[in-house]
Amino acid sequence: MTQLQTASTALDVTRVGGNIGAVVSGLRIGADLDPAVLAEFRAALLKHRVVFLRDQDHATDTDQYDFAAQLGEVTSPHPTVRGDGNAILPIDSEQGAANSWHTDVTFVDRVPAISVLRAVTLPPYGGTTVWANTVNAYASLHPGLQALAGRLRARHSNLFDYAIERPVTGGVDVKQEHYRAEFRHTSFLTEHPLVRVHPETGEPALLLGHFAQSIRDLSSSDFRDLYALLQRHITKLENTVRWTWRPGDIAIWDNRSTQHYAVADYDEHARLLHRITIAGDVPVGIGGDVSTVLEGDASGFSSVRAPAA
Ligand SMILES: O=C(O)CCC(=O)C(=O)O
Ligand SMILES: [Fe+2]
């Protein structure tokens, strides 16, 4: 039998779905990871779009931060939400649920590259998270639709209409209202190419999700129909992976090639995760066009990484 010459691998990568998602084992998060391990980890992340680490029960906020800092520049918690005042954005069921499809923080020009999400408190049932592959969604479109999408630019705002995306049932909750007000206290509006080229892999990906509010020079009804059509391709079940959280789990996703959705099916149970994001580039379209800021200054969120030439 021929011996396959492969680089020594420190990590085990086990796919979860055929189009997205893998469990990575052999990595204990914290400071000072071996550069070779980090390189392998990053390659797995770029390939599988979202990777899951299990059994990281030792991990504290500091371990999460130290790990994240080895993946790139850590951003502040959020452009409008204070979080822990340093790097962590608590994803707390008391403040609401992210149960609509989105890519994180697309209302600024410097869309985060990577998100690192750690389970802190989990409900006894439900509360899964689903990710979808936006590179695959683009690649599987009809060439005519690819050409159409490639010519368009969408406007993303943090003032999107929660009432439409997430109908409130059972009255308005004070903590949720407070969070919503904090989220919206400064308005951001950024125009992105609808198809962005992934800065590390060169792959085209659809850039949409719930912060997208309009498409330049398109009527709102045409926007809604086109948005629905493209989101349907993105969120086709075969293009997704659904993760059932266990204590000690950490999910890391490439925010440039995915959308995600937090399934809010855990009744009144508490659910808390801690998120850290890694700074990303300003998106560039397939024609070389760059995202432009229409409103808001995100310099306090992360430094701007110039678009790759
Ligand atoms: O609650 C979750 O599982 C994910 C929430 C979310 O959208 C995020 O962490 O960016
Ligand atoms: Fe999110």
Q: Is the confidence at residue 1, as pLDDT, over 50?
A: no
Quote the pLDDT of residue 101.
97
pLDDT score at 35: 95
Average pLDDT for residues 273-295, to the nearest whole number? 97
Question: Among the listed ranges 6-10, 74-78, 224-228, 238-242, which one has the minimum average pLDDT value?
Answer: 6-10
What predicted TM-score, i.e. pTM, was given to this entire model? 0.94
Is pLDDT of 6 > 80?
no
pLDDT, tens digit, 9 for 90 and up, residues 170-200: 556 788 888 888 888 889 999 999 999 999 9
Residue 162 has pLDDT above 60, yes or no: no
What local confidence, expressed as pLDDT, does residue 306 receive? 61
User: Residues near ligand 1 with C-beta < 6 Å?
Assistant: 91, 98, 104, 115, 117, 129, 260, 262, 273, 275
DSSP E strand boundaries for the chain: 12-15, 22-25, 50-53, 89-92, 114-121, 129-133, 153-157, 189-193, 195-197, 204-206, 212-215, 240-243, 250-254, 258-262, 272-278, 292-295
Mean pLDDT over 258-276 rounds to: 97
Q: Is the pLDDT of residue 58 over 70?
A: yes
Quote the mean pLDDT of the chain: 92
Ligand 1 pocket mutation, candidates 50, 275, 277, 278, criterion most atoms within 8 A of CB: 275
Q: What integer pLDDT is reported at residue 3 of this predicted model? A: 43
Give the relative orientation of helices 220-234 and 143-150 as an angle to the nearest 10 degrees: 130
* Residue 166 predicted with pLDDT over 80: no
Ligand 1 atom 7, closest CA: 98
Q: Nearest ligand to the C-alpha of residue 117?
A: 1
Say whether 305 is catalytic: no
Nearest to 152 by CA among 211, 219, 200: 219
Q: Which ligand is nearest to the CA of 96?
A: 1
The span from the first CA to the last CA of the chain, in angstroms, equals: 45
Q: What percent of the chain has pLDDT over 90?
A: 84
* Three-point CA angle 172, 175, 181, nearest 5°: 85
Q: Assign a CATH topology to domain 2-295.
A: Double-stranded beta-helix (3.60.130)
- Tell me, in angstroms, the distance from the centre of ligand 1 to residue 138's CA: 23
